[in-house]
Amino acid sequence: MRSYGKIISKKWYQQGAILALTALLLPMIIMCTGLAVDLGNIYVQYSRLQNAADAAALAGAHEYAVQGEKVNSHLEADKMAEKYVQGDYHNLYQSESVIDKNFQAKTKDKITYYRVKLTKEVPLYFLGAIYQKVSGKNTFTIPVASVAAIHGETDVGGFFNNMFIFTDKFSAVNSINNPDKLNPKNENHDKDAKDMITTTFDGRVVYTKVGASIQYSTQHNIDRFFTTTGQKYNKTHNINELVDNDEDKRAKFGKDGILKSGYWSQAEYYNYDFQVFYNYMKGKLAGSKKIADKQDVNTSDSSLFSSDVILIPAKINNSDTNPTIYVDGDVGNSDKPIYMYIEPNSNVVNIKVNTNNNRPLIICIGGSENTRRQVHMDLNGHTFKGVVYAPYCDSGEGVLVNANNGRFIGTIVGASINLQGGVGYYEYMDFMGSNGSSSNQKYRTNGIALVSPPEGIEWD
């Protein structure tokens, strides 16, 4: 009986110790829980506020350039930026407490910078009472800022004026050999990063939707596209010299979109109306044309390619088309383009380049938000001249290009663009001249990109 009583006493003692320990730790547990909840909420709200500022800065900068505004007068830019904060295209709800919205423009070294600064009060659900004793308020203030650079203005030279135009995603993960050498943790990264650039971009890479995904390397976050000049420089110089922020190395483009000089460019925001070129193609199709009657279309078919305009119907012999365009014959040396329009359905369009085409092919793939296709293009080491216009192709891999040491000269437009197949060379050229004049595009295009706030500028 005595031993049983000892066991009972020991059990009560242990229970009492646990209760005391719980009472001691409970405030700490509540404090940690509150800290986790409030800090988590602050981080989420900061991310939302920063995304709104980024979108507003890009949209405001574009409107600033389009309207030809000045650093001391940019009302239209501010109105557009406001729409991307809590207006028509809002990233934040109207009810959210954004206590300050500040829009400014400054110029330095012939570059205009448009800045959006937002400040928001975030409620503290658990730690409000404690924070109020320290600061006098039970909300936490979050300030964010975003700066967009406008790298000069150019009149629209044609329908495209850019090499790649995409909406949602751009991927070119095989553009650098051994990208792990860019990792600062690699002890040889400062002296072992030569001759790495395999794919070159002699033209602008632009996106049409804020928040688009750009993946240049699988290992490291590289934010630029190297030109042929940059590739030659990297033969004998460390690639880190091209990843710095030396503006003298930035690519310069003419009014026609042709690369003039420079070692690298960055993806830029661009406001583009896809319907403009579709309307132009409708005008082409209203005239004389040839209609394909087979799934496979060969450029060696002299009967079909005797016309400057070719239509590939959505159905051939009562079946949905799954067309393959074979560039396997000479279509002539004329600079006058051949226009091909592929009516919309949900199947894949294949483009097989088996020889160089001297005469440009303008391949326009019909579509809409509700009708999307994929495009698979194989250059097979050859040179293709022309345009692949597929702004609604984001199904599967979107517009997929396997270069395999081939060269693409012209423009690719797609909701998603995916460059694969190892070594590739991409160059912008305008094959349509005055056909795509500024009378078709009612605005100017500008090199606009988010940048780190430049030194030497004092913001209010």
Q: Could you report how far apart the first and last alpha carbons of the chain are, in Å?
A: 84
Is the pLDDT score of 173 beyond 60? yes
Output the pLDDT for position 218.
Answer: 55
Most confident of 192-196, 214-218, 346-350: 346-350
pLDDT 10s digits, 20-38: 666 665 666 666 666 677 7
Q: Tokens in use for 226?
A: 């190297």
Taking all residues of the chain, what is their mean pLDDT, rounded to a whole number?
83
Asked whether the beta carbons of 262 and 249 are under 8 A apart, the reply is yes
Q: Which residues pair with 376 in a beta bridge?
A: 350, 400
CB 159 within 8 A of CB 436: yes
User: Residue 247: is its pLDDT beyond 50?
Assistant: yes
Write the pLDDT tens digit of every residue in 359-410: 999 999 998 877 778 899 999 999 999 999 999 887 677 899 999 999 999 9
Least-confidence region, from 103-107, 241-245, 371-375: 241-245
Let me know how long the chain is.
Answer: 460
Identify the pLDDT of residue 156: 44
Helices 75-86 + 2-67 axis angle, to 10:
150
Cα gap 334→384, rounded to integer Å: 14
pLDDT score of 425? 96
pLDDT band of residue 441 (cuts 50, 70, 90) is: very low
Single out the residue of 451, 445, 360, 384 nearest to residue 159, CA to CA.
Answer: 445
pLDDT of 201 above 90? yes
Evaluate if residue 456 carries a pLDDT over 50: yes
Distances (CA, A) of 88 to 81, 82, 93, 164: 10, 9, 11, 28
Q: What is the pLDDT of residue 1?
A: 47
The pLDDT > 70 percentage for the chain reads 82
Q: What is the pLDDT of residues 286-315, one digit of tens each?
A: 989 999 999 999 999 999 999 999 999 999
Cα–Cα distance measured from residue 374 to residue 436, given in angstroms and rounded to the nearest whole number: 26
User: Cα separation of 162 and 426, whole Å?
Assistant: 11
Query: d(Cα 386, Cα 299) in Å, to the nearest integer?
Result: 14
- Residue 165's alpha-carbon distances to 69, 107, 161, 207, 366, in angstroms, are 26, 27, 10, 6, 16
215 in Cβ contact with 176 (< 8 Å): no
φ/ψ (deg, to 5) at 423: -60, 135
Residue recorded with tokens 């698979």: 376
Dump the DSSP string for 351-411.
Answer: EEE-S--SS-EEEEE--BTTB--EEEEE-TT-EEEEEEEETT--STTSEEEE-SSEEEEEE
Distance in angstroms (rounded) separating the CA atoms of residues 402 and 399: 10
CA distances from residue 229 to 136, 146, 222 in whole angstroms, order as listed? 58, 31, 18
Residue with tokens 């072992």: 192
For 32-86, the pLDDT digits (tens) are 666 677 788 888 889 889 989 998 998 898 888 877 788 999 999 999 999 889 8
Say what the pLDDT of residue 436 is: 46
Does 445 score more than 50 pLDDT? no
Q: Judging by DSSP bridges, how do beta strands 324-327 and 296-298 pair with one another?
A: parallel
Question: Above 60 in pLDDT, residue 2?
Answer: no
**Global pTM?**
0.71
Average pLDDT in the 100-118 region? 91
pLDDT at 342: 94
For the CA atoms of 266, 267, 272, 275, the dihedral, rounded to the nearest 10 degrees, stands at 130
In Å, how far are 28, 97, 98, 144, 178 from 51, measured between CA atoms?
34, 16, 14, 10, 32
Does the pLDDT value for residue 129 go beyond 70?
A: no
Kindly provide the b/e burial profile for residues 84-95, where b requires at least 16 CB atoms within 10 angstroms of the residue's own CB: bbbeeebbbeee
Identify the pLDDT of residue 264. 92
